[in-house]
Amino acid sequence: MEILSPAGNPDGLAAAVKGGCDAVYLAGKDFGARAFAGNFTDRQLEGAVGYAHDHGVRVHVTVNTSLRNQEMSEAVSFVRFLRDIDADAVLIQDLGLLRAVQGIDIPKHASTQMQIHSAEGLRWCAENGLDRAVLARELTMEELESIVPDSPVETEVFVQGALCYCMSGGCLMSSFMGGRSGNRGSCAQPCRKRYASEESSGYLLSCADLFGVGHIEDLRRIGVDSLKIEGRMRSPAYAYLSAKVYSMAEDGDFSDEYEDALKLLRTVFNRGTCDGYLGGVVSPVQSLYPDNRGFLLGEVSVRDRCFRWDGDEPIGVKDGLSLFQGDEKVGGFKVVETDPFRIPFKIADGKYQLYRTYDPRIDVVKNLIGQTPKLDGKTVRQPEDARLPKLPHRKVRPDISAYVSTLKTLDAVLPYADRVYFERGDRSDEAREMCSQKGVEFVDLLPRFDSGDEFVSDGPVMVNGPGQLRACRDSPRIYASSVFNCYNSWFPSEIYQATLSVELSRNDVSDLIAHRPGRAEVMAFGRTELMYTRDPAMESCSLTDETGASFPVYKDKRGFSHILNSVDLFLLDSMDELAGSGVSSVGIDLRKRPPALAKAVGEYCRRPDQKLKAKIEQMCGGFTTGLYRKGVQ
């Protein structure tokens, strides 16, 4: 199997190559999902490809962010440039970009952000010009075993590094809380912040790092093609050591050299480790601390600023040590004497957790990596004009589409709705009949994640990703939910109606619709779903952040938890503006909401009234216009 390593900058590239990887993945200065890594200029990219190829290493380049219309020409030009410099593959998230670069002869990989998690998703990849899929990190080994062996495209699985708490490609928490979109590479990592619920407090959304060495043989057995290591934001020493550890493990070499490399890897970066979901649906959260603490040695008793050590791991002169009590770092120091260990700062007597944060052998690693390679090239990126023609202006009064999960709420909103998206479940047939009696379109709303994706619907259906799109290709009408991240006018046109990404600004919405045929929906009311997680430890509750904002959480019958925004989106007083932009429908999300609120919102949609708006605002506790008036980075 291929060992695929991160290269966040030229130093990281050299480190990964010398660590023994088979391929690296890296990014240019734009369109990469790690915008804050050093990344590579065009000239450095060409040099990087040459350097890697000279060492027998392949280069995969990420172009895996969501793209606005005005960015598409540059992105297409960049992909053509990657073809011209002989990059081995390009990673793509955006379905519009995938469509726009179909004619460029370069292998294309589906980023994990594309949410490929089923056999149907893999078939969709094969049918749409993709050569490989980076599978969703939420899949268990059992689920991987059910889809990988018969995959028509290559498969890639994460085995090491940071885990997102939210389902891949579906996190909106960073953009709504901080204006920085994870889907565009600028995640502010709100999952690493402290939260409190009714039952507990701590870093409740912070995952331990994935460590999947123990699953390598099973991944080989089922036919996975590539093992991926996360970490473009980490040090060259991490790139070298992670490549070495996984290359040796893949070769079956678990010698003393492997054990030494593993200990050093856990020293250069360590926030705790877990199996992710490879070992089953167990919580990946490590809630005590969210940051890198190094290698946990054990607990020590400090007296008069000294302690003794008799643990299994030896501690030597020049080691870097840090002392913690709970989630508070008390201090760190470099060892100069060992019997006893003397602490060069004031510290109260007591018990402390001891971590090694530096090992002198890391200097040896740095010497092995050597000097930063000089990366240069001469190929000039050629401009592309990927603009789509502007369509005749469309102005219609938008439909009202209601998202509903209970029959009581459905009954309350039916007099005001043109269509209903009803969550698939035991009451779907009753809901369908209620809609039929009122002449309201019933749309079967599928769950966001199902490793089978073997859905069949003889009526209209709302899908959340490529696998469901393929599974429901024979449905009379296909609606795409906002989870699909429709960001630009190249989004697949075979979909009857696409709900636009809630990260788009008013100008983005207007421009997208002006150049895309077909119907578009904009979410106009409701608690925006910021995260959708498989973590079994997250129960229905309210999460409160350090600012005092409270985020409702509910756990559904399938065991998945939904974290909602702390305040309701309200764009219903912008109906004339939305109509002027050509919006076909507005979505009002009434799932898990009381019938009285559903009725009031429905009434306002049909007969806007300031007193009624004030009543709704009082029932909700406040409003936000979300990102519609400001957009995101």
Q: Which residue has the tokens 């998690």?
A: 117
Of 291, 294, 255, 264, nearest to 369 by C-alpha is 264
- Each residue's pLDDT tens digit, 178-212: 899 989 988 999 999 999 999 999 999 999 999 99
CATH code, domain with 404: 3.20.20.70
286 located within any domain: no
Which has more confidence, 493 or 355? 355
595 located within any domain: yes
The three-state (H, E, C) secondary structure of 145-172, written as one string: HHHCCCCCCEEEEEEEECCCCCCCCCCC
Rounded Cα–Cα distance for residues 594 and 579 (Å) = 28
178 located within any domain: no
* Same domain, residue pair 342 and 241: no
* Same domain, residue pair 312 and 269: no
* Same domain, residue pair 55 and 137: yes
- Each residue's pLDDT tens digit, 522-556: 999 999 999 999 999 999 999 999 999 999 999 99
* Same domain, residue pair 36 and 100: yes
* Same domain, residue pair 445 and 482: yes
* Same domain, residue pair 268 and 300: no
507 located within any domain: yes
- Each residue's pLDDT tens digit, 103-122: 999 999 999 999 999 999 99
In one-letter notation, the amino acid at residue 546 is E
The helix (H) or strand (E) run that includes residue 6 is strand 2-6
Of 288, 301, 286, nearest to 349 by C-alpha is 301
548 located within any domain: no
In one-letter notation, the amino acid at residue 604 is Y
pLDDT higher than threshold 90 for residue 339: no
Q: Which residue has the tokens 């904002």?
A: 549
User: In whole numbers, what is the pLDDT of the chain averaged over residues?
Assistant: 95
Per-residue model confidence (pLDDT) at position 616: 98
* Same domain, residue pair 219 and 310: no
Which residues does 30 contact at the CB level (< 8 Å), separation at least 6? 74, 75, 78
Asked whether the beta carbons of 589 and 403 are under 8 A apart, the reply is yes
Q: Which residues of 64-81 are buried (b: 16+ CB within 10 A; e: fewer)?
A: bbbbbbebbebbbbbbbb
- Each residue's pLDDT tens digit, 37-81: 789 999 999 999 999 999 999 999 999 999 999 999 999 999 999
- Each residue's pLDDT tens digit, 597-621: 999 999 999 999 999 999 999 999 9
Name the pLDDT band for 566 (thresholds 50, 70, 90): very high
Phi, psi at residue 598, to the nearest 5°? -60, -45
Per-residue model confidence (pLDDT) at position 494: 86
Percent of the chain with pLDDT over 90: 93
pLDDT (average), residues 265-273: 94
Rounded Cα–Cα distance for residues 570 and 477 (Å) = 28
Per-residue model confidence (pLDDT) at position 586: 98
pLDDT (average), residues 157-161: 98
* Same domain, residue pair 336 and 229: no
Domain count within the chain: 3
Cα separations in angstroms, 198 against 59, 78, 530, 539, 562: 47, 49, 20, 10, 17
Name the pLDDT band for 452 (thresholds 50, 70, 90): confident
Rounded Cα–Cα distance for residues 585 and 420 (Å) = 12
The vertex-178 CA angle with 593 and 90, nearest 5°, equals 100
Per-residue model confidence (pLDDT) at position 34: 73
Name the pLDDT band for 453 (thresholds 50, 70, 90): confident
Give the least confident one: 238-252, 382-396, 538-552: 382-396
239 located within any domain: yes
pLDDT higher than threshold 80 for residue 36: no
* Same domain, residue pair 105 and 60: yes
Per-residue model confidence (pLDDT) at position 455: 85
pLDDT (average), residues 294-308: 95
Name the pLDDT band for 342 (thresholds 50, 70, 90): very high
* Same domain, residue pair 156 and 243: yes
DSSP labels, 65-106: S---GGGHHHHHHHHHHHHHTT-SEEEE--HHHHHHTTTS-S
Tokens of 52: 């890697």
* Same domain, residue pair 454 and 327: no
Tokens of 136: 């969703």
Percent of the chain with pLDDT over 70: 100
Strands 529-533 and 561-564: what pairing? antiparallel
* Same domain, residue pair 445 and 588: yes
406 located within any domain: yes
Supply the range of the domain harboring residue 523. Answer: 399-528+565-624
pLDDT higher than threshold 70 for residue 33: no
Per-residue model confidence (pLDDT) at position 35: 67
249 located within any domain: yes
